[in-house]
Amino acid sequence: MVARAQAAADTDVCVLVDAEIVLLPEIVNALDRFSKVDGDWFLVSLSRNVTDPRYQLADSGSHWVQADGKEVSFTEEIPAEWSSSEGSDRGLIMAWNNPSSALHAGVLPSFLYGRGAQNWWLAHEVLSSEMRLFFDASSLVLGLYPESISAMQHVMASSKNGRLPSVSWEYGVNHHLAAVYGSYCCRSPARRFPMLHRVVKQSEDYMLSKVDTLVSSDFFISKQGNAHGVDSLRKKQNVSLSGYLHGCSSETSAPDLPYSLSMLLDLVADENGSVVLGVAGKSYRDMLMSWACRLRRLRVTNFLVCALDHETYEFSILQGLPVFRDPLSPTNVSFDDCHFGTKCFQQVTKVKSRIVLEILRLGYNVLLSDVDVYWFGNPMPLLYSLGLATFGAQSDEYNETGPINLPRRLNSGFYFARSDNATIIAMEMIVKHAASSGLSEQPSFYDVLCGENGTNRIGEDRCLEPNTNLTVVFLDRDLFPNGAYKGLWEKRDVRATCKELGCFIIHNNWINKRRKKVHRQMVSGLWDYDPTSRQCLQEWSAQNDGAIPFV
């Protein structure tokens, strides 16, 4: 609609407003005055709640009266009720002049239709693009809306002075989408996700049952304003509730974006303080999403994503991913051909060990999973059961027989590190070793933990690092196969073959070039994301009958 308005070049002023809002004559006066402003401008104004006794339409319909019968004057400043409309799109009036010039410099994200947030997005984007004068005219009463929208409120925090919320739009959007998709737990007893609530009220029974399905499959959506969820996740929620309340409550100011690492950890970590870490740059964006969709589908909610560049960060925010930006990663690298053996690959992989170490120091266990690792099931309980001072890593050995802990056979694209002294010290040694190495970080893992020539090897699947007594377990390849093992990727039905073996994952490595890699995963049916619609496959397809359309 904005684009259509922009195309109407013979228009002086565009006003975008929900049809249910009653525009007051005051808006004509206001726009008349604004049209005298020299330059391009953009105006927002919050409408007022019509159930407020201050505003009653008098019998004749010609004027508004207060409860005491006195005529309402809309010319004086009246504070808007930001608190009752926060996070909602409704009630917001937007107007701008000179439609032939741009409103903002942003790229319109893939909003869910009817889920709110797009008006706020537009307002914040115009504000931050600084291409127009921006006016918040909320203290002028320009419109009234007919019904309660208190049910619409969610995370958007409002500022005390009744002006536009001072938090970034990203926070509300990401938070909302994450809750809808179930990426991570973020819910307080009072929170509601009203869009489905509305859908339920409006439509037939089949939507009701659909909502039930959503609720019973761990989505934090309320039907009657009560929180629903599955017990395991509710417990988990308990762990992160304090962090959530700290971050989301409107009494405290919302956190700055990008999210800090420690805040995200608090939000996503499971009951044992473990997280799954994915790291991705923009050329691996679709692969990242496929990976994230897969984890969502498996109900793995304790994952988080480290974005290597700003594009990936923004993209991830708008997909509801719990994402943080690595401030130290190289920004000038083109990740387009960031495959094994390239300089870029070395830099990216060195980022990973550094971030893992940071998380371990913050007290969380980390399962690092490259985004080209496809998950069949959740290996976390198994990996956690390896115990303290044990480092579980994928073996990159391709020979089907013989030891799996030979030199340089440790794959640093999938490993579980516990936040204990031995592991932290060993990781410090690895990061240091990698920093002074001309290779990627992968050989550093082996050389540090197992000794350059495998001198610390024990048996056929272990090493013992002598300084820390850290045990390295090379994970059973039937459960954690690499991309060369048993030619699994060449099998006609990769999924069935892996299922027979009992695989938790399969690594899409031992292949060069990103395009081939993506192709291999797609043709094997181990791909969960549709980049054109930006939707997860499967998960939403059952509801793809128009109930929740995407823009």
Ligand X SMILES: *[C@@H]1O[C@H](CO)[C@@H](O)[C@H](O)[C@H]1NC(C)=O
* Footprint on this chain of ligand X (rule: CB under 6 A): 49, 51-52, 81, 84, 148-150, 235, 238, 270-272, 274, 330, 332-333, 380-381, 384, 399, 401-402, 421, 452-453, 455, 468-469
Q: What is the nearest approach in angstroms of ligand X to the Cβ of residue 137?
A: 19
Measured from the CB atom, the residue of 235 and 491 that comes closer to ligand X is 235
Q: What is the nearest approach in angstroms of ligand X to the Cβ of residue 176?
A: 19
DSSP codes of every residue in 132-143: SEEEE-TTS--E
Q: What is the nearest approach in angstroms of ligand X to the Cβ of residue 406?
A: 9
452 contacts: CB under 8 Å, gap ≥ 6:
407
3-state secondary structure string across 203-261: CCHHHHHHHHHHHHCCCCCCCCCCCCCCHHHHHHHHHHHHHHHHHHCCCCCCCCCCCCH
Q: What is the nearest approach in angstroms of ligand X to the Cβ of residue 235?
A: 5
What is the C-alpha separation between 348 and 331, in angstroms, rounded? 11
DSSP codes of every residue in 256-285: PSSPPHHHHHHHH--TTSEEEEEEE-GGGH
Per DSSP bridges, beta strands 274-280 and 48-49 are: unpaired
Q: What is the nearest approach in angstroms of ligand X to the Cβ of residue 468?
A: 6
Measured from the CB atom, the residue of 226 and 401 that comes closer to ligand X is 401
Q: What is the nearest approach in angstroms of ligand X to the Cβ of residue 237?
A: 9
Residue at shortest CB range from ligand X: 402
Measured from the CB atom, the residue of 29 and 150 that comes closer to ligand X is 150
Contact 237, 195 (CB under 8 A): no
Measured from the CB atom, the residue of 235 and 516 that comes closer to ligand X is 235
What is the C-alpha separation between 135 and 95, in angstroms, rounded? 10
Measured from the CB atom, the residue of 381 and 487 that comes closer to ligand X is 381
Exposure string over 111-143, b if 16+ CB within 10 A, otherwise e = bbeebbbbbbbbbbbbbeeebbbbbbbbebbbb
Measured from the CB atom, the residue of 61 and 402 that comes closer to ligand X is 402
Measured from the CB atom, the residue of 60 and 401 that comes closer to ligand X is 401
* Residue that has been written with the tokens 């701008």 in this structure: 96
* DSSP β-bridge partners for residue 14: 96
Other Cβ atoms within 10 Å of 382 Cβ, number? 16
Q: What is the nearest approach in angstroms of ligand X to the Cβ of residue 43?
A: 23
266 contacts: CB under 8 Å, gap ≥ 6:
240, 242, 243
Q: What is the nearest approach in angstroms of ligand X to the Cβ of residue 381?
A: 4
C-alpha dist (Å) from residue 254 to 19, 148, 191, 376, 472 = 31, 25, 15, 36, 41
Contact 473, 461 (CB under 8 A): yes
Measured from the CB atom, the residue of 381 and 525 that comes closer to ligand X is 381
Measured from the CB atom, the residue of 198 and 519 that comes closer to ligand X is 198
Q: Which helix (H) or strand (E) holds 180?
A: helix 169-181
Q: What is the nearest approach in angstroms of ligand X to the Cβ of residue 433?
A: 13
Q: What is the nearest approach in angstroms of ligand X to the Cβ of residue 126?
A: 26
Q: Where are the beta strands (DSSP E) in 313-381?
A: 323-325, 365-369, 373-375
Among 69, 91, 68, 96, which residue's Cα sits nearest to residue 80?
91
Q: What is the nearest approach in angstroms of ligand X to the Cβ of residue 415?
A: 15
Q: What is the nearest approach in angstroms of ligand X to the Cβ of residue 480?
A: 16
Measured from the CB atom, the residue of 387 and 525 that comes closer to ligand X is 387
Q: What is the nearest approach in angstroms of ligand X to the Cβ of residue 325?
A: 17
- Tell me the residue type at 277: L
What is the C-alpha separation between 226 and 209, in angstroms, rounded? 17
Contact 124, 44 (CB under 8 A): no
Measured from the CB atom, the residue of 233 and 288 that comes closer to ligand X is 233
CB-neighbour burial class of residue 551 (10 A; exposed 0-12, middle 13-18, buried 19+): exposed
Per DSSP bridges, beta strands 303-307 and 323-325 are: parallel
Reduce the DSSP state of residue 194 to 3 states and report it.
helix
Measured from the CB atom, the residue of 317 and 434 that comes closer to ligand X is 434
Contact 299, 218 (CB under 8 A): yes
Measured from the CB atom, the residue of 53 and 546 that comes closer to ligand X is 53
